[in-house]
């Protein structure tokens, strides 16, 4: 089609994975800024259902780009893992940070724009066709011909679905509500504690209930929800709404008083399809963590191997992208992701409560041997002490 816009790299999705891929390309070589286009159906700041917890893994990816998190965030000093009456805690300064995703993703997009990257917002991708020499991408506003397409469009990826790479066996289910709180009264706000409560493992939940203290437009809100990994997809599905209702009732809250929202997370497995001729997937479109449902750190992390694979494809004029999956497997972050996938399959297969209780006791002892026992432990790299991008 003659009116098609030609571009070297088209990134569909301006969440953390898409923007991180663009930032990593430009961080390496600023001339990439003119060769990339990011399109997103939403206009930032856009709503994104998410707990907003960013661990040191994600903070370190940003730190290596020279970017301290540029939005307000809640510093969690203690992560408490609960099973029935048993519990153990990780400590840190902080263990992780809680952001609001509308603010965080908007900040990432603004940063990308400051780095010279064009982000076309309010433009939805409708179709994708791979040709030998280019990929045709049809949006509701135009047509693009790109040398390389990056699908960064989340767990319900249109890119993945148009290419018929769908695989419904690796999809976690999540429900979330926000409840207004009095930060002076609520102990989790005062002591900066996040709770992961696995008690409903016994009720068939392959995951946990969470309480994350956070601030929405300056107002204290508890972000509460349930995560069901479905790491064992053949097991019967737990009644998530009922489990959330029960967990909230234990905390003196009635679920029907609040607005309930749900969204899936696609999780990673090294055998999953993440690349083919002229197309790669990043972030939730490729897969996140099924053990804890952590996705932001990995979404940011995908930017590293994805940008390396893109640079290599253009340098060698080889767009088969056949090494991308292997590149992910070799990267320490994605090696860790696969370990989490294997652990999730094991942990959510266990159905002996006595064994889980024993696991909790053992974990409590093991934590004492790690730096996570100290409230002063700082796991994240300080952003200002890492190599920053050279001035243009
Ligand atoms: C309830 C819930 C709680 C969570 N809590 C946490 C947490 O506390 N910590 C954590 O680390 N992870 C959490 N996650 C996971 C985390 O939200 C994701 O892993 C992360 O958002 C993935 O980033 P991404 O960039 O791959 O995709 P997204 O952030 O989903 O971004 C995808 C982008 O693609 C755009 N897009 C989609 N379709 C199209 C289209 N057709 N055309 C153009 N653009 C399109 C969307 O508008 C969006 O901006 C949670 C997830 C859920 C559902």
Cβ–ligand 1 contact at 288 (below 6 Å): yes
Q: Is the pLDDT of residue 8 over 80?
A: yes
Burial of 118 per CB tally in 10 Å (0-12, 13-18, 19+): middle
Give the rounded percent of residues in the chain with a pLDDT score beyond 70. 97
Q: Is the pLDDT of residue 261 over 50?
A: yes
Q: Would you say residue 37 lies in a domain? A: yes
Q: Would you say residue 254 lies in a domain? A: no
Cβ–ligand 1 contact at 301 (below 6 Å): no
Cβ–ligand 1 contact at 174 (below 6 Å): yes
Q: Is the pLDDT of residue 54 over 70?
A: yes
Cite the DSSP H helix spans in the chain. Answer: 16-28, 56-64, 101-114, 158-162, 187-190, 240-250, 296-316, 324-330, 332-347, 353-367
Residue 289 CA: nearest ligand 1 atom is: 19
Mean pLDDT of 262-267: 96
- What are the structure tokens assigned to 153, written together? 């469009």
Residue 155 CA: nearest ligand 1 atom is: 30
Cβ–ligand 1 contact at 65 (below 6 Å): no
Q: Would you say residue 298 lies in a domain? A: yes
Cβ–ligand 1 contact at 172 (below 6 Å): no
Domain span including residue 318:
5-73+98-169+267-349
Cβ–ligand 1 contact at 53 (below 6 Å): yes
Cβ–ligand 1 contact at 287 (below 6 Å): no
CATH number at residue 326: 3.50.50.60
Cβ–ligand 1 contact at 249 (below 6 Å): no
Cβ–ligand 1 contact at 294 (below 6 Å): yes
| C-alpha dihedral (324, 156, 68, 388), degrees to nearest 10 | 30
Mean pLDDT of 56-81: 96
Taking the centre of ligand 1 as the mean of its atom positions, its distance from the CA of residue 391, in whole angstroms, is: 31
Query: What digits encode the pLDDT tens for the residues 21-52?
Result: 999 999 999 999 999 999 999 999 999 999 99
In angstroms, the first-to-last Cα distance of the chain is 35
Taking the centre of ligand 1 as the mean of its atom positions, its distance from the CA of residue 284, in whole angstroms, is: 6
To test the pocket of ligand 1, the residue of 123, 284, 306, 333 to mutate (highest count of ligand atoms within 8 Å of its CB) is: 284
Q: Would you say residue 336 lies in a domain? A: yes
Domain count across the chain: 1
Give the contacts of 355 (CB within 8 A, at least 6 positions apart). Answer: none
Confidence of residue 2 (pLDDT cuts 50, 70, 90): low
Nearest to 295, CA basis, from 286, 308, 307, 304: 286
Query: What digits encode the pLDDT tens for the residues 219-259?
Result: 999 999 999 999 999 999 999 999 999 999 999 999 999 99
Taking the centre of ligand 1 as the mean of its atom positions, its distance from the CA of residue 326, in whole angstroms, is: 24
Residue nearest to atom 31 of ligand 1 (CA): 15
Q: Would you say residue 239 lies in a domain? A: no
Q: Would you say residue 34 lies in a domain? A: yes
Q: Would you say residue 188 lies in a domain? A: no
What pLDDT does residue 121 have?
98
Burial of 38 per CB tally in 10 Å (0-12, 13-18, 19+): buried
Q: Would you say residue 81 lies in a domain? A: no
């Amino acid at each position: 089609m003659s009116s098609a816009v030609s571009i070297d790299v088209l990134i569909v999705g301006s969440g953390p994975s898409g923007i991180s891929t663009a930032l990593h390309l430009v961080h390496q070589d600023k001339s990439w800024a003119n060769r990339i286009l990011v399109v997103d159906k939403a206009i930032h700041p856009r709503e994104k259902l998410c707990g907003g917890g960013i661990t040191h893994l994600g903070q370190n990816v940003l730190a290596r780009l020279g970017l301290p998190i540029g939005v307000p965030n809640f510093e969690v000093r203690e992560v408490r893992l609960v099973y029935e009456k048993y519990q153990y805690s990780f400590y840190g300064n902080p263990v992780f940070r809680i952001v609001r995703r509308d603010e965080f993703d908007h900040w990432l997009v603004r940063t990308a724009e400051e780095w010279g990257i064009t982000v076309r917002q309010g433009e939805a991708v409708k179709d994708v066709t791979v040709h030998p020499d280019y990929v045709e991408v049809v949006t509701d506003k135009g047509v693009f011909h790109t040398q390389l397409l990056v699908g960064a469009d989340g767990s319900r990826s249109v890119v993945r679905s148009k290419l018929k790479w769908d695989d419904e066996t690796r999809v976690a289910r999540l429900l979330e509500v926000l409840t207004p709180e009095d930060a002076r009264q609520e102990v989790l706000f005062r002591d900066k504690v996040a709770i992961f409560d696995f008690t409903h493992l016994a009720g068939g939940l392959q995951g946990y209930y969470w309480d994350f203290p956070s601030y929405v437009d300056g107002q204290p809100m508890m972000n509460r929800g349930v995560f069901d990994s479905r790491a064992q997809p053949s097991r019967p599905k737990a009644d998530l709404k009922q489990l959330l209702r029960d967990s909230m009732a234990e905390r003196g809250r009635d679920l029907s008083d609040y607005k309930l929202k749900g969204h899936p997370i696609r999780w990673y497995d090294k055998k999953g399809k993440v690349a083919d001729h002229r197309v790669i997937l990043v972030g939730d479109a490729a897969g996140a963590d099924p053990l804890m449902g952590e996705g932001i750190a990995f979404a940011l992390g995908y930017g590293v191997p994805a940008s390396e694979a893109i640079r290599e494809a253009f340098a060698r004029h080889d767009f088969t992208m056949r090494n991308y999956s292997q590149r992910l497997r070799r990267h320490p972050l994605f090696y860790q992701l696969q370990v989490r996938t294997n652990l999730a399959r094991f942990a959510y297969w266990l159905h002996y409560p006595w064994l889980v209780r024993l696991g909790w006791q053992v974990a409590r002892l093991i934590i004492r041997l790690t730096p996570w026992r100290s409230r002063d432990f700082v796991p994240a790299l300080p952003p200002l002490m890492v190599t920053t991008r050279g001035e243009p």
